[in-house]
Amino acid sequence: MFKRFKKNKKSSSFHAVATGTLLPISAVEDGVFSEKLLGDGYAVKPANSEVFSPVEGKVLSIFPTKHAITIETTAGFEILLHMGLDTVELKGEPFEIFVTEGQKVTAETKLATMDLEKLAETNTPSTIVVVITNMDKVKDMPKTSEKTVNATEEIFSVEVG
C-alpha cells in the first residue's frame, strides 16, 4: 500500500575487474578513453590474467575479436569492458572468453583471461578499461585514484539520476 511513497533508488556497485592497480580513466594511455569520448569509468592495470565482471547484470555482446564485452547492469547502466589498448588488431588471440551473450553475471563471474605474456611480446598495454557508455543515466560519478586492488573488490557505487 505504501510502495508508491517509497523513493525507488536504483544503483549499481562497480568492482575491480582484476587484481592490480586501479587507475582513474583520465590516466589511460588512449585518448578515446582518457578524454571520456565513450563515457566515464576507471581502469585496472592487471597483475594476472583473470578478468572478472565489474558489475551485476547481463552480457549484451562479446566483440568477435574477444577484446571487449558489453554488460547491462540491473540498474540499466550500459558498460563497456575493454581488455587492453589497441587489442582489436590481435584478432582475439590473447583472450579466452568464459561467458556467453545473454548470460547473467556478478562481480564474482570470471569473464575472460588475457595472455599477458602475449600482450607484452606485441608491446600492447594490458590495461582493462571499464566505461559507462550511457552517462545520461548517471546521477553523480565518483572519482577514483590510483591504488592497489584485488579482483572483485568494490570500487564505488553509482546511482541512476
Give me the mean pLDDT over the 18-41 stretch.
97
Q: What is the pLDDT of residue 9?
A: 60
Among residues of the chain, what percentage have pLDDT more than 90?
93
Q: What is the mean pLDDT of residues 71-83?
A: 97
Output the furthest CA–CA distance in the chain (Å, rounded). 62
Confirm whether 82 is a catalytic residue: yes
* Mean pLDDT, residues 77-99: 95
User: Could you give the strand order of the β-sheet that contains 104-105, starting from the edge strand earlier in sequence?
Assistant: 104-105, 57-62, 68-73, 78-83, 128-132, 40-46, 20-24, 147-149
Tell me: pLDDT of 39 over 60. yes
d(CA 157, CA 67): 25
Give the C-alpha separation, 123 to 64, whole Å: 22
Alpha-carbon torsion (148, 12, 111, 152), positive or negative = positive
Q: Specify the DSSP class assigned to residue 159.
A: E
Query: Model confidence over 97-117: pLDDT tens digits?
Result: 999 999 999 999 999 999 999
**Cell matching residue 86:** 589497441
Give the single-character DSSP code of 90.
G
Q: What is the pTM of this model?
A: 0.93
Burial of 40 (0-12, 13-18, 19+ CB in 10 A): buried
CATH number, span 13-149: 2.70.70.10
CA-to-CA separations, 60 to 26, 40, 78, 79, 94, in angstroms, rounded:
26, 19, 9, 9, 21
**C-beta neighbour count of 77 within 10 angstroms:** 23
Catalytic residue among 15, 67, 82, 137: 82
Q: How far apart are CA 77 and CA 58, in angstroms?
A: 11
